[in-house]
């Protein structure tokens, strides 16, 4: 018995994991496949007759409308991404393949949920420039920001300061209480450093128990000394109850100022590092 493919087509459309939309020239939804309920949280009967633009993320409306114009002018889109708002108010990232069929005067689009992919891409981008444990800026991004800040300071004849911070006797914490506790101490240090800084400043974990702080647009050497005193005061506060009787370790801070101690990133880092070790030896 021959198979009636024409009769099967509607069933095949509803079996697709991706969602099929049919929209008229004025962006009214004429048809959606069953997968739409999983994608947007709406049943087909809730969507048919409404404007598809009603469900687009407001920040993506302009780019999406421009894409619609291109599609209706005969350009077949196979890789357009935008965001839609689900019925529950959450955001879904969608990858589209769309085409305008002039004879039928409809635009057919196939929508794929790529939210997990987008989140994975964002996480990879974040990890490329941040320390995975403390979530602080990593060595690579810090170096770039330091270089950029030096160039800006040179142009505007401003000053900046670079602090190099090391946790004293941190190895003893790892050896005595384990690396999980040591990691907790590092994260505590990171949050405390962040609490001391302005939005224009940058704190980074350079590796191990070493951190750097970039202070931009410094008004005076006194302000740098005050910032160091603030950091030392915050660092001296006891650890939280989750650490039991473990004491917060002290830290040693070295400082280098632009342009007095160097006019390039490497020189400033070396100067601050050396200054930190001098402080460490004197404690």
Give the CATH number, domain containing residue 275: 3.30.70.270
Q: Region 12-24: what's the mean pLDDT?
A: 90
Same domain flag for 114 and 134: no
Token pair 């009787």 in the structure block, residue: 245
Is omega for the bond preceding 72 within 30 degrees of 0, making it cis? Answer: no
Residue 8 banded pLDDT, cuts 50, 70, 90: confident
131 vs 205: CA distance, rounded Å: 7
Is residue 46 one of the residues assigned to a domain? Answer: yes
φ and ψ at 100, to 5 degrees? -95, 130
Is residue 219 one of the residues assigned to a domain? Answer: yes
Domain boundary among 119, 154, 182: 119
Is the pLDDT confidence value at 11 over 80? Answer: no
Is residue 124 one of the residues assigned to a domain? Answer: no
pLDDT digits (tens, 9 = 90+) for 141-186: 999 999 999 999 999 999 999 999 999 989 888 888 899 999 999 9
Is residue 218 one of the residues assigned to a domain? Answer: yes
Q: Region 194-202: what's the mean pLDDT?
A: 92
Same domain flag for 115 and 136: no
Same domain flag for 134 and 40: no
Q: Region 129-137: what's the mean pLDDT?
A: 95
Residue 241 banded pLDDT, cuts 50, 70, 90: confident
What integer best gives the mean pLDDT of the chain?
Answer: 92
Q: What pTM was computed for the model?
A: 0.76
Is residue 125 one of the residues assigned to a domain? Answer: no
Is residue 102 one of the residues assigned to a domain? Answer: yes
Positive or negative, the CA dihedral 230, 236, 237, 239 is: positive
Q: Region 226-235: what's the mean pLDDT?
A: 94
Q: Which SS3 state, helix, strand or coil, does residue 215 take?
A: strand
Is residue 27 one of the residues assigned to a domain? Answer: yes
* Cα pseudo-dihedral 54, 55, 59, 62, rounded to 10: -50
Domain boundary among 97, 119, 141: 119
Same domain flag for 97 and 136: no
Q: HSE on the CB side for 16, CA within 13 Å?
A: 19
Same domain flag for 135 and 262: yes
Catalytic residues: 209
Same domain flag for 215 and 245: yes
82 vs 91: CA distance, rounded Å: 10
Same domain flag for 98 and 235: no
Domain that holds residue 24: 5-119
Same domain flag for 92 and 153: no
User: How many C-beta neighbours within 10 Å does residue 249 have?
Assistant: 17
Same domain flag for 62 and 176: no
Among 166, 165, 194, 163, smallest CA distance to 258 is for: 163
Same domain flag for 30 and 164: no
Same domain flag for 113 and 138: no
Domain boundary among 94, 119, 144: 119
Residue 4 banded pLDDT, cuts 50, 70, 90: low
Q: What is the pLDDT of residue 1?
A: 59
φ and ψ at 144, to 5 degrees? -60, -45
The number of residues in the chain equals 283
202 versus 283: the higher-pLDDT residue is 202
Radius of gyration of the chain (CA): 28
Same domain flag for 228 and 90: no
Q: What is the pLDDT of residue 234?
A: 94
What is the tally of structural domains in the chain? 2
Is residue 11 one of the residues assigned to a domain? Answer: yes
pLDDT digits (tens, 9 = 90+) for 34-58: 999 999 999 999 999 999 999 999 9
- SS3 sequence, the chain? CCCCHHHHHHHHHHHCCCEEEEEECCCEEEEECCCHHHHHCCCHHHHCCCEHHHHECHHHHHHHHHHHHHHHCCCCEEEEEEEEECCCCCEEEEEEEEEEECCCCEEEEEEEECHHHHHHHHHHHHHHHECCCCCCECHHHHHHHHHHHHHHHHHHCCEEEEEEEEECCHHHHHHHHCHHHHHHHHHHHHHHHHHCCCCCCEEEEEECCEEEEEEEEECCHHHHHHHHHHHHHHHCCCCCHHHCCCCCCCEEEEEEEECCCCCCHHHHHHHHHHHHHHHHHHC
Q: What is the pLDDT of residue 3?
A: 64
User: How many C-beta neighbours within 10 Å does residue 31 have?
Assistant: 16
Taking CB atoms within 8 Å and a gap of at least 24, the contacts of 243-246 are 243/181, 243/184, 243/185, 246/173, 246/177, 246/181, 246/185
């Amino acid at each position: 018995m021959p198979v009636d493919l024409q009769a099967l087509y509607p069933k095949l459309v509803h079996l697709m994991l991706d969602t099929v939309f049919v929209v008229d020239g004025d962006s009214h939804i004429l048809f959606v496949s069953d997968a739409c309920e999983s994608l947007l949280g709406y049943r087909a009967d809730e969507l048919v007759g409404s404007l598809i633009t009603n469900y687009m993320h407001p920040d993506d409306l302009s780019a999406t409308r421009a894409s619609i114009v291109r599609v209706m002018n005969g350009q077949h889109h196979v890789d357009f991404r935008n965001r839609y708002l689900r019925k529950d108010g959450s955001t879904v990232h969608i990858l589209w393949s769309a085409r305008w069929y002039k004879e039928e005067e409809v635009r057919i689009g196939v929508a794929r949920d790529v939210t997990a992919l987008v989140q994975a891409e964002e996480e990879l981008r974040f990890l490329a420039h941040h320390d995975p444990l403390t979530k602080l800026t990593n060595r690579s991004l810090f170096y770039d920001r330091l270089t950029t800040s030096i160039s800006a300071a040179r142009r505007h004849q401003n000053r900046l300061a670079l602090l190099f911070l090391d946790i004293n006797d941190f190895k003893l914490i790892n050896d005595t209480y384990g690396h999980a506790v040591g990691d907790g101490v590092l994260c505590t240090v990171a949050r405390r450093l962040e609490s001391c800084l302005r939005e224009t400043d940058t704190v980074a974990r350079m590796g191990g128990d070493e951190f750097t702080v970039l202070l931009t647009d410094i008004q005076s050497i006194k302000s740098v000394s005050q910032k160091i005193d603030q950091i030392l005061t915050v660092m001296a506060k006891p650890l939280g109850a989750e650490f039991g009787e473990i004491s917060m370790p002290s830290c040693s801070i070295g400082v280098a100022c632009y342009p007095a101690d160097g006019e390039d990133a490497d020189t400033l880092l070396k100067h601050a590092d050396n200054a930190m070790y001098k402080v460490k030896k004197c404690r």
